[in-house]
């Protein structure tokens, strides 16, 4: 199953009732700065978050401060998401970080010392621009069925 999943409506979220859902409103996250602020608040990032991709990557691969072991990052209004950012490369880098973090959590063994296994998925409302970026960068995504 792909790490990115299309959500047609909030009723599709019932499947994720046992997940901590971090909502990222694309209309409020049109820049990386705004995105970092939203995700930091939604996932209660520690104070040492540096509001950059490297720090985001580090924290998404940790998540030990969260009690819930199932986390869904839900991007609404996906066509507005990062729409004021010009760098397609940087947007692709963010998608890679999200995809790799979600994939890496699939392989954490319960017996690994000091690491609580997690499940991370990236949900998004469909939007032409966002889906075109996923397609261009060859990220797989699944509809919620």
Specify the pLDDT at position 116.
79
Which residue from 133, 136, 105, 107 is spatially nearest to 121, judged by alpha carbons?
A: 105
Enter the tokens of residue 72.
Answer: 């869904």
The Cβ of residue 31 has, within 10 Å, a number of other Cβ atoms equal to 13
Round to whole Å and give the CA distance between 59 and 10. Answer: 27
**Burial degree of 70 (CB within 10 A; 0-12, 13-18, 19+):** middle
Round to whole Å and give the CA distance between 122 and 28. Answer: 17
Question: Alpha-carbon Rg of the chain, whole angstroms?
Answer: 14
pLDDT, tens digit only, all 145 positions of the chain: 899 999 988 888 999 999 999 999 999 999 999 999 999 999 999 999 999 999 999 999 999 999 999 999 999 999 999 999 999 999 999 999 999 999 999 988 766 667 778 999 999 999 999 999 999 999 999 986 5
Round to whole Å and give the CA distance between 67 and 69. Answer: 6
Indicate the angle between helix axes 32-42 and 88-106, nearest 10 degrees.
20
CATH for the stretch 4-143: 3.30.370.10
Specify the pLDDT at position 9.
85
């Amino acid at each position: 199953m792909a790490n990115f999943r299309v959500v047609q409506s909030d009723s599709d979220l019932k499947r994720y009732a046992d997940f901590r859902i971090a909502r990222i409103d694309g209309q409020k996250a049109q820049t990386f700065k705004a995105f970092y602020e939203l995700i930091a608040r939604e996932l209660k990032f520690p104070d040492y978050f540096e509001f950059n991709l490297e720090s985001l990557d580090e924290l998404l691969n940790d998540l030990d401060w969260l009690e819930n072991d199932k986390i869904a990052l839900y991007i609404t209004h996906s066509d507005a998401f990062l729409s004021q950012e010009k760098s397609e490369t940087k947007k692709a880098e963010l998608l890679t970080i999200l995809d790799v973090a979600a994939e890496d959590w699939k392989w954490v063994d319960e017996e690994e010392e000091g690491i609580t296994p997690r499940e991370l998925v990236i949900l998004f409302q469909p939007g032409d621009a966002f889906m075109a970026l996923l397609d261009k960068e060859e990220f797989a995504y699944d509809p919620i069925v």
